[in-house]
Structure 1
Amino acid sequence: MLSDQSATTVRATLPAVGAAIGEITARFYAGLFSAHPELLRDLFNRGNQAAGTQRQALAGSIAAFATHLVDQPERRPDAMLGRIAHKHASLGIAPEQYAIVHEHLFAAIAEVLGEAVTPEVAAAWDEVYWLMANALIAIEKRLYEESADEAGWRQWEVTERITETADVVTFRLRPVDGGPVRDFRAGQYVSVGVTLPDGARQIRQYSLSGAPGTDVRQISVKRVPEDATTPEGEVSNHLHARVAEGSVLELSAPYGDLVLDQVTDTPLLLASAGIGVTPMVAMLAHLAEGGHRAPVTVVHADRTPADHALRTDHEAYAAKLPDAAVHLFYERDAEPGTRTGLLDLSDVPVPSGTRAYLCGPLPFMRAARAQLIAKGVVPADIHYEVFGPDLWLAG
């Protein structure tokens, strides 16, 4: 909770800081990488930096956190903090790195706002930063402790490589050391670290697409070609081109907060688009294994049936549930029993009390969320996963 004096100062300066936050974060990253080039080479996603999406996500999270502190001082934004902390833990972020970020972030604020950053303003925003940083450090400490049996990076051998579609490959992996494998919760992801041809070690997160409760890790990776709006997927394309059966990859422990609660009698809706299907398949496998008996509505949207990765598993696990309905939307080449076009929930039955889980491109999730709210789903019961920086907060 902010002190009263700092809350007054932050409230008064929030419009100015918010208006300049994009420039502040751009200068922050420039200064950070100039002083610590190894962070861009070996930790931060170079593609997101080039596209500017990481700057947008950082700006959005800072603005959202500060706004929450002054508007709802009695409540901490745990959902936002938890999402960030899980990503940080999957990357192995250490507490001492927050001091480095603080140094370069406040240097950027001073550069951009100049004389407006009085000692009082600096102190207030310093308080905001450390409230957020210390909350994240505490959550990350707990996450590291919970995964202590598989903490840090571990080597895994690819035992199977399966072509799902023209652009999606599934890798099944077992630990090289032959040791025990910690179970994961359906919906979680792992970080994968690879050394690229230029020597950089880049890290990306991939949802676990296999069933929980096995000693195998399974990830399904979509190749990402460069286009006008999206940088080439350095790691995904590397995995497609260079990783075969027998290859060894470095994986983190499982992390991620888009997870199913214990199997209950709650109606569920699992909506995905494109490669967002991956956590949903794991969720369906978990529900089928746990004997979930309440209604489950499965919704998926894709370009064509041929682009629908893991479709066999997607439909097979749904078929094992006693009360599941599957609705498939394809932009082209729709088959009998599926629909042509983008997601449209207008005539999809959604039982009262439904809890929804969404994963896919941000425009898809915004549309799905709006349609679900219009159908009476409580906003607090709609959960989502974003692949890459969380631009929802920046929007």
Structure 2
Amino acid sequence: MLSVQSAATVRATLPAVGANLDAITERFYAGMFAARPELLRDLFNRGNQAAGTQRQALAGSIAAFATYLTDHPDDRPDAMLARIAHKHASLGVAPDQYGIVHEHLFAAIVDVLGEAVTPEVAAAWDEVYWLMANALIALEKRLYEESREPGWRDWEVVERVAETADVVTFRLRPSDGGPVADFRAGQYVSVRVELPDGARQIRQYSLSGAPDSALRQISVKRVAEDAGSPAGEVSEHLHARVQEGAVLELSAPYGDLVLGADTDRPLLLASAGIGVTPMIAMLAQLAQDGSACPVTVLHGDRSPADHALRTDQELYAAKLAEARVHFWYEEDAPEDAHTGLVDLADIAVAPGTHAYLCGPLPFMRAVRTQLIGKGVAPADIHYEVFGPDLWLTQG
């Protein structure tokens, strides 16, 4: 993997590069979008750029990849790369775009670090970049080849269901009348919409229906403006403008948060808020398969009125012989639910459990910590982040 000489150089310069990664990535995005404005308009998430979260995620992934290479020069972090590759494939990222990123990223490194970027330093970090880029290109090529659907396809909205005040489910069928390929429970699709200013923005939404259905189903939460982030452009567009009969562009399904092949082991499905969506597909798959494995379902929400897809969650769990369901609500909790945040203190977790988590990052961190404390192996805890993956940037 990483050459001995480059490993030594990267190891020596990683503290300086790491300390300046936020400035480097900020300069990188500014330079790239100035030169290629169509990338911000039609590929990158403008909301994440405005909030700075995409910059943080990129900095975290670069630092994590470089650190891993210096600690394990003959290996590479395939789990991290696979997560990125699935996201890139859902966006339709092409190999030649890595050259564009390289040009502007290294220009930003030189701008920020100046004379510290000697030819030796530049060559070492160039090797790091292309090791990561070429690995992603290969992974994405395989994902494209394995996909049973075209890259982008038109889907007609055949039903729109208001789940809560802020969540709407769209059920869709192919506009061309062709078959609907199965997906793996837990996967997502990209949705591309044209906004009033002409931008064609893309967002990912988990498939919240059964994998073998003749329809595709996504459940979209309206992203409201808060102190740190603008309102969601695409979620607001879908809520306000997309009715039955409308046509949406969807990618093929991607994502690596999927049920494993070893279905005899105990499962724990933990979600919060709109993170319930991939868990619904997993429960539907388990119910269809007649799974007899023990399944623990945990979900936290602000209130019962905010709990989207609760009926589906309960119906699918009721079809499983060994399912236990626990709900937590911060407000208005009924007698059969817990009050407050999700807490595993009184939840029995069987040995050998495989856990799947989806929800806000603080929720997943807290649940993961409690699961490890109950003896669940870290390698058996899988998660999905909606938006930029900031797990690596926050300790």
CA distance in 2, matches of 1:320, 1:231: 41
Deviations along 1:307-334, one digit per CA (max 9) or x if unpaired, are 0000000011011000010010000000
Deviations along 1:283-302, one digit per CA (max 9) or x if unpaired, are 00001111211110000000
CA distance in 1, matches of 2:226, 2:37: 27
Q: CA deviation at 1:181?
A: 1.4
Equivalence for 1:195 = 194
Q: Which runs of 5+ in 2 are unaligned?
A: none
Deviations along 1:243-302, one digit per CA (max 9) or x if unpaired, are 000000000000000000136210000000000000000000001111211110000000
TM-score (norm 1): 0.99
Equivalence for 2:31 = 31
Indicate if the aligned counterparts of 2:287 and 2:319 stay in contact, CA closer than 8 A. yes
Indicate if the aligned counterparts of 1:190 and 1:254 stay in contact, CA closer than 8 A. yes
Aligned length: 394
CA distance in 1, matches of 2:75, 2:299: 35
Task: Give matches, 1:310-389, under 5 Å.
Answer: 310-389=309-388
Task: Give matches, 1:71-86, under 5 Å.
Answer: 71-86=71-86
Q: Which runs of 5+ in 1 are unaligned?
A: none
Q: CA deviation at 1:163?
A: 0.5
Equivalence for 2:2 = 2
TM-score (norm 2): 0.99
Secondary structure (helix, strand or coil) at the match of 2:393 reads coil
Q: CA deviation at 1:161?
A: 0.1
CA distance in 2, matches of 1:275, 1:363: 14
Equivalence for 1:44 = 44
Deviations along 1:190-239, one digit per CA (max 9) or x if unpaired, are 00000001111000000000001122110000001101123201000100
Equivalence for 1:16 = 16
CA distance in 2, matches of 1:210, 1:152: 21
Task: Give matches, 1:212-361, under 5 Å.
Answer: 212-262=211-261, 264-361=263-360
CA distance in 2, matches of 1:85, 1:186: 18
Deviations along 1:359-387, one digit per CA (max 9) or x if unpaired, are 00000000000010111111100000000
Indicate if the aligned counterparts of 1:263 and 1:287 stay in contact, CA closer than 8 A. no
CA distance in 1, matches of 2:267, 2:229: 32
Moved over 6 A (4+): none
Task: Give matches, 1:105-144, under 5 Å.
Answer: 105-144=105-144
Equivalence for 2:64 = 64
Equivalence for 2:93 = 93
Of the structure 1 ranges 69-78 and 245-254, higher mean CA displacement relative to structure 2 is found in 69-78
Q: CA deviation at 1:185?
A: 0.2
Q: What is the identity, as a one-letter code, of the residue corresponding to 1:137?
A: I
Q: CA deviation at 1:336?
A: 1.4
- The answer on 1:205 being equivalent to 2:179 is no
CA distance in 2, matches of 1:233, 1:108: 29
Q: CA deviation at 1:73?
A: 2.0
Q: CA deviation at 1:182?
A: 1.4
CA distance in 2, matches of 1:75, 1:216: 41
Indicate if the aligned counterparts of 2:50 and 2:229 stay in contact, CA closer than 8 A. no
Secondary structure (helix, strand or coil) at the match of 1:301 reads strand
User: How large is the RMSD of aligned CA atoms in angstroms?
Assistant: 0.7
Q: What is the identity, as a one-letter code, of the residue corresponding to 1:138?
A: A
Indicate if the aligned counterparts of 1:373 and 1:379 stay in contact, CA closer than 8 A. yes
Indicate if the aligned counterparts of 2:271 and 2:299 stay in contact, CA closer than 8 A. yes
Q: What is the identity, as a one-letter code, of the residue corresponding to 2:250?
A: L
CA distance in 1, matches of 2:217, 2:88: 21
Indicate if the aligned counterparts of 1:191 and 1:252 stay in contact, CA closer than 8 A. yes
CA distance in 2, matches of 1:165, 1:317: 19
Q: What is the identity, as a one-letter code, of the residue corresponding to 2:103?
A: E
Deviations along 1:82-133, one digit per CA (max 9) or x if unpaired, are 0000000000000000000000000000000000000000000000000000
CA distance in 1, matches of 2:350, 2:292: 14
CA distance in 2, matches of 1:67, 1:263: 32
Indicate if the aligned counterparts of 1:263 and 1:292 stay in contact, CA closer than 8 A. no
Percent of aligned pairs with the same residue?
79
CA distance in 1, matches of 2:88, 2:393: 18
Secondary structure (helix, strand or coil) at the match of 1:239 reads helix
Indicate if the aligned counterparts of 1:263 and 1:290 stay in contact, CA closer than 8 A. no
